[in-house]
Amino acid sequence: MQTPKEPTEAHRNFFRDVHEVVRLVPRGRVTTYGAIAHYLGARHGARMVGWAMMAAHPTVGPEAIPAYRVVNRLGLLTGRLHFATPTAMQEFLEAEGIPVVDDQVQDFKTRFWDPSVELG
DNA sequence: ATGATGACAAGTT
DNA sequence: TAACTTGCCATCA
């Protein structure tokens, strides 16, 4: 399984929506795959959300997607190995004031940002 | 065209 | 209480 390197027709509905939601995550907050999936309409497939993040990884610039703000429901940085460096994800989070210890977001429940609640 | 896989989650057994 | 099974959408072989 490789990431769609070129912006082909891959960027469709689901990926597109996932990317947009992730971009809406405010600085200093984190969300989960399930929350995004739920916001997009029930269990659209939390797995696909993670897949969408991977596809959005190489994205940089004004349309950059803060994938580091997306963790699993336990607040674990499950995708840290997919970043440029194994510690990049944690670095970004800490840079926003989100302490991370042992790949786990501290005070995760408070930092949690639920799109279906915040956005409606 | 079919089968298998993936940064998960929730419900059941 | 912990472990197992199923669902979800899209992409790759």
CATH of the domain at A36: 1.10.10.10
Does any domain span residue A81? Answer: yes
Range of the domain at A97: 13-112
Does any domain span residue A83? Answer: yes
Does any domain span residue A120? Answer: no
Between CA A118 and CA A63 the distance in angstroms is: 21
pLDDT tens column, A83-119: 888 899 999 999 999 999 999 999 999 999 999 999 8
* A:77-116 Cβ neighbours of strand B under 7 Å: 77-80, 82-83, 89
Does any domain span residue A57? Answer: yes
Does any domain span residue A76? Answer: yes
In angstroms, the CA of A50 and the C1' of C7 are apart by 15
Which residue, A29, A35, A32, is CA-closest to A98? A29
Quickly tell me which residue has 């795959």 as its tokens. A33
Question: Among A11-20, A25-34, A76-85, A106-115, whose mean pLDDT is lowest?
Answer: A11-20
Does any domain span residue A119? Answer: no
**Domain count across chain A:** 1
